[in-house]
Amino acid sequence: MSPAALAPKWEAHAAERIALQPGSIHLWAAETARLQSAEPLLSAEERASLARQRAPARRAMALGGRAGLRMLLRAYTGIANRELRFRAGARGKPMLDNRLDGGELCFNYSLSGGRALFAFAWNRQLGVDLEVAPRRIAAEQLARRKLGAEERRAWRAFPPRERDAAMLACWTRKEAYGKALGVGIRYFLHRAPVCAHLDSPAWSCGVRGQFAPSEDARVLHGLQIATPFAAAAALVYDGDALADDDGGASLQCHLLRSTK
């Protein structure tokens, strides 16, 4: 028994001009070491920020993630890298400040264990989280502190040997939910019941009352995603649910192979 995850087909693509259809979502997976040669794309401010990171491995991974983001944003927008501008959106979430014909190009990414996972969509907020396995975690402690009662029951239904993997799945759901809202894990995690159905790769969760009584009544959709490498990963997004047929919105998954 393992947490259910959608197993999409991952196709290798270069970071060249990319067409993203309205309503669809693109995911990109990459090894951050393969992206580090694109360091010249980073701004002086980004390089200074990375230089303050003392741990070499974390600094290298962060460099690859930021360079990969810039490569992909350039490919989606056609805007030269030096002209890409960023601003802080709701609750400080990074956003593009460039004016685009399609509206707002939303993005999010996550780094773990030398891997990166990027998500892009037009006009729908996204959150994505990645946790490369195997990883030792205090699963029982996390269950008591971060899961609601129904979620704890679902988690404890797994055999003991499967509970670390199930907790990683829960954690990616919780963090992707917070990142979609722009708060990361700075919220009462047990109030977002996203792990009650770990036997399903898809779920949904409301927002109302999460941060304030007047919070809106949006419903966020979530997907547990099987990656090309050993990891737990989750995607959370707003708007309509992704359709399974060819006529509706879709999820496309790519392996990033270009480094410049």
Q: Could you give the CA distance from residue 119 to residue 199 in angstroms, rounded to a whole number?
A: 24
Give the global pTM.
Answer: 0.94
With beta carbons less than 8 A apart as the criterion, state whether 177 and 127 touch: yes
Which residue type, as a one-letter code, is found at position 7? A
For residue 109, what are its two tokens? 């990414």
Domains of the chain (ranges, CATH numbers) = 10-256 (3.90.470.20)
Residue 90's pLDDT band (boundaries 50, 70, 90)? confident
User: pLDDT tens across 151-168, in order?
Assistant: 999 999 999 999 999 999
User: pLDDT tens across 197-245, in order?
Assistant: 999 999 999 887 666 555 677 889 999 999 999 999 999 999 999 876 5
Q: Could you give the CA distance from residue 163 to residue 160 in angstroms, rounded to a whole number?
A: 5
DSSP 219: E
